[in-house]
Chains A and B, each alone.
Chain A
Amino acid sequence: MKTIYERPKLLKPAAFHYCPGCGHGIINRLLMEVIDEMNLAEKAICVAPAGCGMLLYNYFEIDVVESPHGRGAAVATGIKRVLPNNLVFSYQGDGDLAAIGTAEGFHAANRGENITVIFVNNGVYGMTGGQMAPTTLLDQVTTTTPRGRDSILAGHPVRVCEVFSNLDGATYLERVAVNKPAAVRKAKKAIAKGFRRQLDGAGFSLVEILAPCPTNWKLGTMESCAWIDNVMVKQFPLGVVKEVPYANGGDRTTGDASSPEEDEA
């Protein structure tokens, strides 16, 4: 019998704490699949956030450090500058990256830090109970926008990829989603590309992943997946927002960034 799918080796045999229909579980699985397939388990260091993604060390069979809320890109910067040949990525939510950690993410991107940010955008503060996030859509009801987000009172949803795309240090920015199988496959490719580019020294990469949060959206799991397609992508269009080509290794190459193919050989 042919195995067509199995649990990634790097995903610990622990039950996720995520709510039913949450996108985090899919993204966690994709990350471990990619790291396993690229043979990077011995090089990878994950910076976990505050928020729903904070327990990554319970699930990932790789090195994980917890970051204070919003500081993921700064912590990742510190690690990467000491260990330039390791794969260093931060995992951050929308409140984490686009509100409290705006400065850290923005300036890591502007410095062209050779790290990858996995940016999970579900439009709400999930762990704290569904408050408005910087990415909450206009008119979207949250616990702190009970009449819907009013741009006069609470501003507009932030398009992180588009904002970062004006920074010369940011070289790869793609927005994907995990609401249906085809989208999940694209998300996996984007993560792999971000990691590949980091190993090649291409500089700052960020993969924004639109993820369902049925609990705080007050929608069913299927409805949440449909809501991403029907509503969310209008504010956050999917696809590559920026990709700077590089040849013969990026300018952040350390001279020792061996490719995984060579590692396997």
Chain B
Amino acid sequence: MKRLMSGNAALGEAAILSGCDCYFGYPITPQNELTEYMARRMGDTGGVFIQSESEIAAINMVLGASVAGARAMTSSSSPGISLKQEGISYLAADELPAVVVNMARGGPGMGNISPSQSDYFQATRGGGHGDYKTIVLAPASVPELTTVVPLAFDLADKYRNPVLILGDGMLGQMMEPVDFDELVRPADYPKDYVLDGAKDRPARSIYSLLFDTKLQEEHNWKLFRKFKLMEQNEVRYETFLTDDADMVVIAYGMGARIVKGAIKRLRQEGLKVGLLRPVTLWPFPAKALQELAKTATDFFVFEMSQGQMIEDVRLALEGQGTVHFYGRPGGVIPMPIELYRIISRHYYQTHAGSGLLKNDAAPSEHDRRARTEDAGSGNSSAIAATEDDGARRPACSEGRGVVFRQPSRGTK
């Protein structure tokens, strides 16, 4: 049965249906509806709900509940997630499962309460101190929470590692129809580490202090191998109209949703633009991007930030293709029409006159070669214009878009 719910409430319901029996949270906008929902529902289900005295206390209560074998979750928004990093590092070091939700907002500092994607680095680079990683899931709609949330609890238990759900204020607060009928509680894994009293077994201990550097290094490599397994097995992404795309937009979460609207319009114009939406920000879908680089030449990164994921895109492409970027930091949400204009400008600059556009008169091989050669002699062809732009100054002087130019197909 479909219900109209906010993302925050839907996340809470999905967590409870996924077997989450402990929730600890501290108020911060824009995720309060989740804390409030858990307060209500845990009262019904007999689960544990505590409004903690701080985000630090909440994540450490999660640690305690996880030690005791519970499926525990906490949630917050950007500044609060910074405070939780201590506990997330300990959870990773202790190999304890937990789900941490970040309904991100504009930053840095207090920032604002508008949707933002500026916590990408913090989420995908571990976030706290020490060598560790966490799987980061980035849902793009309220209905998607019904698959992402149980997946988060499953992966946390499977790898005994904290899993982050990275949304933003828009995902948290907008309402969409959502159906929980298909949601199945993830099965339990054997938990041979739980502390519940040394009854009929030897006493156990859980700690991360390893004074012996050799033991600490061994533990680090053990964690490293686990993170490699995650990289091999847990990459998730969505592609949209990429089969014939010359330009692939890479965007995640609500940003990807806005891009989809822009791409539909671009396609109506005959521009061959597709979308790669990483669902796991870490592990990043690098292989999928490398595959796309076999057919596409241009990669357009859109983020609601100054540009953070773009680093992973560049690392994945290893110099292939041309990487474009457009970002709106500070909690600004662009409309699809804005993205349509920016993406089409970049697309035309790269492709106009190359024979790839629907309205381009398909030039003969001879014409094409002639045009390319003319480019160097100052002939005012479209290709020449883009080349010059890319070499000397940002292609979009009046916008925020910046072209990061690799050798373009025009000269090949």
Contact = CB atoms under 8 A, between A and B. Distances in A.
A74 B67 contact: no
Nearest to A66: B207
Given A45-B196, A78-B72, A104-B57, A68 B65 contact: no
Contact of B60 (A54, A78, A82, A86): A78
Interface stretch (A57-65, A156-164, A242-250): A57-65
Contacts of A67: 60, 63
Contacts of B196: 45, 63, 83, 86
Contacts of A45: 68, 195-197
B219 to A, nearest CB: 13
A43 interface: yes
Nearest to B67: A65
B57 A71 contact: yes
B273 interface: no
Interface stretch (B46-54, B99-107, B306-314): B46-54
A154 interface: no
Interface extent on A, as a size class? 35 or more
B199 interface: yes
B22 A54 contact: no
A175 B285 CA distance: 58
Given A63-B205, A65-B67, A81-B48, A103 B197 contact: no
B61 A75 contact: yes
The B interface is mostly helix, strand or loop, or mixed, namely: mixed
A103 B86 contact: no
A187 to B, nearest CB: 23
The A interface is mostly helix, strand or loop, or mixed, namely: mixed
A82 B63 contact: no
Interface in B183-238: 195-200, 203-209
A173 interface: no
A82 B70 CA distance: 7
Contacts of B120: none
A79 B196 CA distance: 9
Contact of A82 (B48, B87, B206): B48
A225 interface: no
Instruction: With a 10 A CB-CB cut-off, give which of A47, A55, A63, A68 has the most chain B CB atoms.
Output: A63
B60 A74 contact: yes
B64 A78 contact: yes
Contact of A77 (B61, B90, B197, B203): B61
B68 A71 contact: no
A76 interface: yes
Interface residues of B, number: 40
A45 to B, nearest CB: 5
Contacts of B208: 66
B56 interface: yes
A48 B64 contact: no
Contacts of A74: 52, 56-58, 60-61, 63-64
B394 interface: no
B69 interface: yes
A55 B207 CA distance: 9
A122 B375 CA distance: 80
A47 B207 CA distance: 10
A65 B205 contact: yes
Nearest to A10: B203
B301 interface: no
Interface string A213-256: 00000000000000000000000000000000000000000000
Contacts of B63: 65, 67-68, 71, 74-75, 78
A131 to B, nearest CB: 20
Contacts of B58: 74
A103 B53 contact: yes
A75 B86 contact: no
Contacts of B205: 57, 63-66
9 contacts: A41-B198, A65-B207, A66-B209, A71-B60, A75-B63, A78-B61, A81-B50, A81-B61, A111-B50
Given A45-B197, A80-B64, 9 more contacts: A42-B200, A65-B63, A65-B206, A66-B209, A82-B21, A86-B196, A103-B54, A106-B53, A107-B57
